[in-house]
Amino acid sequence: MNTFITLAIVLIALSFVYTWGAAASRRVASQTGEKLHSRPPYYGLYLVLWCAIPAAIIFIVYSLITPTIETVIIQSYFPQEVLNDAAELANQTRQVESIAGGFGMFGEPAPYQVQAAAALKNVEWIGKMALVALIAVAAVAGTLVARTRISPEFRARNRIETAIEMLLITCSAIAVLTTVGIVLSVLGEAVRFFTFVNPIDFFLGTSWNPRFSTTGHGGQGDFGLLPLLWGTLMITIIAMIVAVPIGLMAAVYLSEYAGPKFRFVAKPMLEVLAGIPTIVYGIFAAFTVGPFLSTMGDAVGLDINATSAFTAGIVMGIMIIPFVSSLSDDIISQVPQSLRDGSYGLGATRSETIRRVILPAALPGIVGAFLLAVSRAIGETMIVVLAAGNSPVLTANPFEAVSTVTVTIVNQLTGDTDFASPQSLVAFALGLTLFVITLCLNVVAIYIVRKYREQYE
Amino acid sequence: MATTTTATEAMSEKKSNRDLVQAKLAKRHRSETTFRAVGLGAILIGIALVFVLFGSILYKGVPAFWQATLHLEINFDPEVIDIDPRPVQQPGQSAAEHLDNVNAWIRGLRRARFDRLVQSAIAAEIPAAGDPSETRNVYGLVNANARYELAALVEADPSIIGTTVPVALVANENVDTWLKGNIDRDLPQRMQQLSPEQQEWADALYDRGVIEMNFASSIFTNVDSRSSGATAGLLGAMVGSVMMMLIVMTVAVPVGVMAAIYLEEFAPKNRLTDLIEVNINNLAAVPSIVFGLLGAAVFINFLGLPLSAPLVGGLVLSLMTLPTVIIASRAALRAVPPSIRQAALGIGASPTQAMFHHTLPLAVPGMLTGAIIGVAQALGETAPLLLIGMNAFVASVPSTPLDQASALPVQIYLWQGNENRNFFESRTAAAILVLLGVMITLNALAILMRHRFERRW
């Protein structure tokens, strides 16, 4: 509730400043008889910026430093033996905060806790008053400084537009910073992992058995990437075998044969598959497809595990169908009509035109689409977590349980925030591998698709 | 003479060409039909898969919304519930001490033998269940949290002690499984979840209408529970998901839209912006689990934010959704015809004014559609949340974004792993239906907006 009142006060103050600035610019213009450079709202906004930005900076700095100052003050009252015990220190600090907040604590507080609480209450009060005073001064001073600048020649609009552009640039920078953040954080932790395990053992090892971090450093396990990579590859291949024929043929039919009505119904129906969360596919694989395939296998004399590369691959293929079909559909419809007309003119049937003219012309783009689909299959997590069986062994049999890079990341990092053991740091080395593989696939695919587009534009 | 011969030769050659074509025509038409049928088949397979997927989830999930419930006349016998009146805050007593007293009183209340109350209510129907040695067995028919539900009734209104009140108690999860036939009744007793007496009583109570299949409102009103599967609900996960969606909407959508405006309208066309473009396209295809690694390394390890917090989850999902929003917003901006912008520039508007006053308002519907699809995608994402600790068991509703919380897809993941598979398989499917319901609503909203506001230029 308090927050809403504060917010309301700030908004009212800012709207007041805005009106004042706009009115002031009009007054100045009528006094001097000159025409304003910008329209009055821009002068109002200019004042608002000068009022709000310094005050906001003060508020942010205050929020960042107060917790540290308060902790220092509380702890200056604590005896040495409490300071030495981290758990007790955290507990007593919380108690002091509770006493200072007027809630009190259960049991009799120690005299130093009462003193600390009193001091804390004092400091909090002084801090809050100082904050309010500082913000008020900064806001008023900023507004007044900006007010003195208002004159008919002052280019308020250009200032505002520069500010807007700065904001827009900052927002675009966030997208770039995300990539930088991914690279730095994953690379940094992966490098720490490689201080425990030799990179050669990691990238070329054929055995995956990380043991538990609690067994201590003496019993460090094997961190061989190859079984995981092989599992990922096998599932991806199965997924592509399912998705590519169905997706591509669906795209060909939709773009070359289907009438507008059929297209209007069928295309969204297929795209429903793309909108379903992967956890749902995972459950579908684990509860329905896996047992079904296992029973079918028994019927024909095949030993199919309910959770296996086969199960995970088939369900992942289903997930990727709409991905392949809508990307291919886009690309096929970009092939110029003149190529089709030329082919029909020579007497080719529709299927001959598609097979001999359109698909070869669209091939680079379709390959790009497939690479994007492969990258998606490699990075998919929930389906394989639930349906691949989590058994990191090198096997050529797709009906056996396998494990993948993504499954292992989840297994090694969940519920474990200990960033010091190789057992959890390996997740970042795996993440790095995954990121690099998908990055290469994506960049090549994006490059091919763009080149393809330019070709027919 | 010579000319006639060549003409005749030409004619006969032409005829033979025509014959050749004629001869092949039937085969070519057959292959045309086959090709077309394969294309149609691919689409039908895709659509059939949609139906199989939804069918299997509906088949498993819908029955879970109706749950066995016991309608009992509970007599709150004062001899069984023998407690003091609720403590009142004394003058001079701190809030912490009072809270402690109240908690002690509630603990005392919960220790009362509510199982005996349930037993005597059931014994009113089945006298054989009234034997004092059977208390445990009889209480096993209702959910394990029933004693807390009854205690809460007394806590809310202590005057019900000594009266008889009709109370609806959700049956134990194993009773529900038994009555719905989700466990094979012919299994040997050592593999059954209910004792022979419980099986008999459950059937008898169901026949007499004491146990009815009622709407399982606990799915929506309760938090997750470990002790009582029958009353485990999604409330905490739903609130956590809503918080994360709000964060995604307030972070990813404005930032994404502004980045799109900059890249589409203001950014100079050079190598740097080209790199940013490739980077955004790549980010859209980076596996979601890599964003989880980023969250674990930056937000949790580096910035020290708490594990399992919706704030961290929301930020990770925002970064993940950002490229989707940027790409959709750029497409929406590009769809506005350049003549609008040129007209604005031609009558003296600045580029910023042309953008914000003319192009942007026309692009808003397209941007909103993209934003909704991005938010829906974030809602269903599981893998990155597992890495920031959201798979922890949380039995409370988060009240701030820094509290521990779960999310809908993560709750699905947790429930599918529950040992009581007989019961939780359908509970999981029910949770999926809730998730899909929200996602379909969001997507329907997006489609509706596209149709409502779509403009053809």
In chain A, where are the structural domains located?
2-154, 208-455
Across the interface, whether the CB atoms of A278 and B41 are under 8 A apart is answered no
On whether any CB of chain A is under 8 Å from the CB of B429, the answer is yes
pLDDT exceeds 90 at position B6: no
Q: Residue A280 and residue A373: Cα distance in Å, rounded?
A: 19
DSSP, collapsed to helix, strand or coil, labels residue B68 as strand
Scanning every residue of chain B, which has its alpha carbon at the shortest distance from the alpha carbon of A314?
B49
The dotted CATH code for A208-455 is: 1.10.3720.10
pLDDT exceeds 50 at position B334: yes
On whether any CB of chain A is under 8 Å from the CB of B366, the answer is no
Scanning every residue of chain B, which has its alpha carbon at the shortest distance from the alpha carbon of A438?
B286
Confidence (pLDDT) at B4: 53
Across the interface, whether the CB atoms of B39 and A253 are under 8 A apart is answered yes
- Domain covering B235-453 assigned CATH 1.10.10.10 in the classification: no
Query: Looking at residue B222, what DSSP letter applies?
Result: -
How near does any CA of chain B get to the CA of A299, in Å? 21
If contacts are CB pairs under 8 Å, which of residues 144-203 in chain B contact chain A? Answer: none
Please provide residue A104's backbone torsions phi and psi, each rounded to the nearest 5 degrees.
80, 180
Across the interface, whether the CB atoms of A171 and B259 are under 8 A apart is answered yes
Q: Residue B327 and residue B365: Cα distance in Å, rounded?
A: 14
Across the interface, whether the CB atoms of B391 and A414 are under 8 A apart is answered yes
Q: CB count, 10 Å around CB of B304?
A: 7
Across the interface, whether the CB atoms of A273 and B50 are under 8 A apart is answered yes
B426 touches B63 (CB < 8 A):
yes
Scanning every residue of chain A, which has its alpha carbon at the shortest distance from the alpha carbon of B259?
A172
Geometric angle at alpha carbon B17, from B16 and B22, rounded to 5°:
95
Q: Rounded to a whole number, what is the distance in angstroms from the first to the last CA of chain B? A: 66
B208, two tokens:
């007499």
| CATH 1.10.3720.10 domain locations along chain B | 235-453
List the single best residue of B293, B325, B414, B450 to mutate versus A (max A Cβ within 10 A). B293
Q: Residue B437 and residue B440: Cα distance in Å, rounded?
A: 5
B288, two tokens:
């979601």
Closest CA to B204 of B123, B278, B284: B123
Confidence (pLDDT) at A205: 84
If contacts are CB pairs under 8 Å, which of residues 251-290 in chain B contact chain A? Answer: 254-256, 258-259, 261-263, 266-267, 276, 278-283, 285-290
On whether any CB of chain A is under 8 Å from the CB of B439, the answer is yes
Q: Which residues of chain A have pLDDT under 70?
A: 1, 106, 212-220, 415-418, 457
Confidence (pLDDT) at A151: 85
Scanning every residue of chain A, which has its alpha carbon at the shortest distance from the alpha carbon of B408?
A279
Q: Residue A224 and residue A205: Cα distance in Å, rounded?
A: 4
Across the interface, whether the CB atoms of B287 and A172 are under 8 A apart is answered no
On whether any CB of chain B is under 8 Å from the CB of A418, the answer is no
A323, two tokens:
């991905």
Confidence (pLDDT) at A237: 95
What are the distances in angstroms from CA A161 to CA A40, A405, B125? 14, 48, 79
Mean pLDDT, chain B, integer: 88
A52, two tokens:
């709000």
Across the interface, whether the CB atoms of A439 and B282 are under 8 A apart is answered yes
- Is the pLDDT higher at B78 or at A342? A342
Confidence (pLDDT) at B13: 57
What number is the average pLDDT over the span B32-47?
94
Confidence (pLDDT) at A218: 47
Q: What percent of chain B has pLDDT over 70?
A: 96
Contacts of B324 in chain A (CB under 8 A): none
What are the distances in angstroms from CA B406 to CA A254, A370, B382, B448? 41, 35, 11, 30
Query: Which of A171, A258, A382 is facing B258, going by the closest CB pair?
Result: A171
A280, two tokens:
């749902």
Contacts of A266 in chain B (CB under 8 A): 43, 47
pLDDT exceeds 90 at position B70: yes
On whether any CB of chain B is under 8 Å from the CB of A308, the answer is no
- Per this entry, what is the length of chain A? 457
Residue type, B408: L
Across the interface, whether the CB atoms of B276 and A175 are under 8 A apart is answered yes
Across the interface, whether the CB atoms of B282 and A257 are under 8 A apart is answered no
Cα within 13 Å of Cα(B368), Cβ side: 18
If contacts are CB pairs under 8 Å, which of residues 91-110 in chain A contact chain B? Answer: 98, 102-106
What does the DSSP assignment read for A206-217? --EE---GGG-G
A86, two tokens:
């981290």
Pairing of strands A222-223, B66-75: unpaired
B317 touches B409 (CB < 8 A):
no
Across the interface, whether the CB atoms of B258 and A168 are under 8 A apart is answered yes
List the single best residue of A64, A155, A174, A332 to mutate versus B (max B Cβ within 10 A). A174
Number of inter-chain CB pairs under 8 A, A vs B: 278
Contacts of B382 in chain A (CB under 8 A): 277-279, 381-382
Query: Which of A103, A164, A385 is facing B352, going by the closest CB pair?
Result: A164
Lowest mean pLDDT among A262-276, B87-101, B293-307, B413-427: B87-101
Across the interface, whether the CB atoms of A414 and B387 are under 8 A apart is answered yes
Across the interface, whether the CB atoms of A279 and B412 are under 8 A apart is answered yes
On whether any CB of chain A is under 8 Å from the CB of B303, the answer is no
B109 touches B80 (CB < 8 A):
no
What are the distances in angstroms from CA B153 to CA B89, B136, B137, B166? 22, 22, 23, 12
Across the interface, whether the CB atoms of A277 and B428 are under 8 A apart is answered no
Contacts of A242 in chain B (CB under 8 A): none
In this prediction, residue B1 has a pLDDT band, given cuts at 50, 70 and 90, of very low
Longest dimension (CA), chain B: 135
Query: Which of B50, B380, B391 is facing A272, going by the closest CB pair?
Result: B50
Q: Residue B163 and residue B173: Cα distance in Å, rounded?
A: 29
Contacts of A273 in chain B (CB under 8 A): 46, 49-50, 53
Across the interface, whether the CB atoms of A280 and B38 are under 8 A apart is answered no
Q: CB count, 10 Å around CB of A417?
A: 13
Give the containing element (helix H, strand E) for B215. Answer: strand B211-215
- Listed in sequence order, the DSSP H helices in B188-336 are 196-208, 218-221, 235-261, 271-285, 288-294, 310-335
Query: Which of B21, B38, B282 is facing A249, going by the closest CB pair?
Result: B38
Across the interface, whether the CB atoms of A266 and B389 are under 8 A apart is answered no
B347, two tokens:
């009558």
How near does any CA of chain B get to the CA of A428, in Å? 7
How near does any CA of chain B get to the CA of A137, in Å? 30
Closest CA to A404 of A277, A313, A293, A287: A313
A161-171: pLDDT as tens digits:
999 999 999 99
Residue type, A110: A
Cα within 13 Å of Cα(A29), Cβ side: 16
Confidence (pLDDT) at A29: 85
Q: Residue B73 and residue B168: Cα distance in Å, rounded?
A: 9
Geometric angle at alpha carbon A238, from A234 and A240, rounded to 5°:
115
In this prediction, residue B94 has a pLDDT band, given cuts at 50, 70 and 90, of confident
The C-alpha R_g of chain B, in whole angstroms, comes to: 33
Give the containing element (helix H, strand E) for B167. Answer: strand B164-170
Q: Residue B363 and residue B366: Cα distance in Å, rounded?
A: 6
Please provide residue A107's backbone torsions phi and psi, each rounded to the nearest 5 degrees.
90, 180
If contacts are CB pairs under 8 Å, which of residues 385-424 in chain B contact chain A? Answer: 386-387, 389, 391-392, 409, 412-413, 416
How near does any CA of chain B get to the CA of A134, in Å? 28
Scanning every residue of chain B, which has its alpha carbon at the shortest distance from the alpha carbon of A380?
B287
List the single best residue of A178, A271, A453 to mutate versus B (max B Cβ within 10 A). A178
A43, two tokens:
């002068």
What number is the average pLDDT over the span B3-19?
62
Pairing of strands B211-215, B66-75: antiparallel
B302-330: pLDDT as tens digits:
888 888 899 999 999 999 999 999 999 99
Contacts of B278 in chain A (CB under 8 A): 443, 446-447
